[in-house]
Chain A
Amino acid sequence: MILRNILLSAIVVGLFTGLFYGLFQQSQINPIIYAAEEFEVAEEEPVVQAHSHGAEASQGHHHHDEEAWSPADGFERIAYTLGADIAIAIAYAIMMISLMAFHDLKANNKPKINTLQGTAWGIVAMLAFFVAPAMFGLHPEVPGTEAAVLEGRQTWWLICAILTATGIAVLYYAPMKFKAGGIVLAALPHLIGAPMPEQHGFANTDPAAVEALTQLTSQFYSLTAIGMVIFFVLLGSMSGFVVKRFVKLQTA
């Protein structure tokens, strides 16, 4: 059964890539997140007081419910982060392997998926799920960065990722006369523009904190970019490999 094969293959690929990225994150990215949070906590209360007029709505601060559970720092937090990384990786792997299977099923005039094709798919996925929405839109941010309201950014991010992926698919699969439509689709979210805060900066306005956070942001930006390249190339090549080996469409 194809569905079962897709899900099982995706779980294997996702476990591997998610764990790999999680360990990369734990050693390279989380120290930056933790360091940025040092500056966040000190400022939380005065900010809410100072801009009480509509600040919550316009600045996108979470209404952090004091009661809400969150994993305790240390082992618990690391375990939840690894688990979430693996879950996200499995989700990406399911979608990628499914679309690859769909390609093998329907696109008879294109090469079948293998590890090399898969690597190219991984790079395309990185364009759709990282480069377009994050590098060209809502930059990767450390905790405590001023940003527009969260729901608006999430919606824009998802629309941007879907339109970029659809646009690239149109470029690749559509007949010549429709290919330009793919470029229009991918450009659309950037023409509309990502939701941005009224003023850029950090919740903590102390000059020393701003300087530290600016530095942490640029480190965070480069390390997520490196991590995402590794993650998506691994995800794509492994997905290509398993699709060729384990997702047998003809027996369906």
Chain B
Amino acid sequence: MQQTISASQNNTLTLSAAVQVVSAIAIGAALLFAVGFAPMDVAHNAAHDARHAFAFPCH
């Protein structure tokens, strides 16, 4: 069962293991970017000390 998407008999949507794992990686990367690298001033100010402490580039 390596199809990307297959609807099983009881109508629940199932995704292949690989697709789920790749989706999870994308979610993690998006979260890391939002907290650690997002350019908006508000995001930068809120996470400022954390960005410094993880040695992310900051001003």
Interface residue ranges, A against B (CB under 8 Å): 1-3, 6-7, 10, 21-22, 25, 29-30, 33, 60-62, 64-65, 68-71, 77, 80-81, 83-85, 87-88, 90-95, 97-99, 101-102, 105-106, 130, 133-134, 138-143, 147, 150-151, 153-154, 157-158, 220, 224, 227-228, 249, 252
Interface residue ranges, B against A (CB under 8 Å): 14-18, 20-25, 27-29, 31-32, 34-37, 39, 41-42, 44-59
Residues of A within 8 A of B15 (CB): 3
A143 B59 Cβ-Cβ under 8 A: yes
Nearest chain B CB to A91 CB, angstrom units: 4
Q: How far is the CA of A11 from the CA of B24 in the complex (A)?
A: 12
Q: Which residue of chain B has its CB nearest to the CB of A250?
A: B17
Residues of B within 8 A of A30 (CB): 49, 53
B49 A88 Cβ-Cβ under 8 A: no
B35 A88 Cβ-Cβ under 8 A: yes
Q: How far is the CA of A147 from the CA of B15 in the complex (A)?
A: 45
Residues of A within 8 A of B41 (CB): 62, 64-65, 68-70
Q: Is the interface of B mostly helix, strand, loop or mixed?
A: helix
Q: How far is the CA of A172 from the CA of B49 in the complex (A)?
A: 35
Q: Which residue of chain B has its CB nearest to the CB of A142?
A: B52
Q: How far is the CA of A227 from the CA of B55 in the complex (A)?
A: 11
A-B contact pairs, 7 of them (CB 8 A): A33-B49, A33-B52, A83-B46, A84-B51, A91-B28, A98-B28, A141-B58
Q: Which residue of chain B has its CB nearest to the CB of A227?
A: B53
Contact A94 B28, CB 8 Å, known A29-B53, A102-B21, A252-B16? yes
Q: Which residue of chain B has its CB nearest to the CB of A2?
A: B20
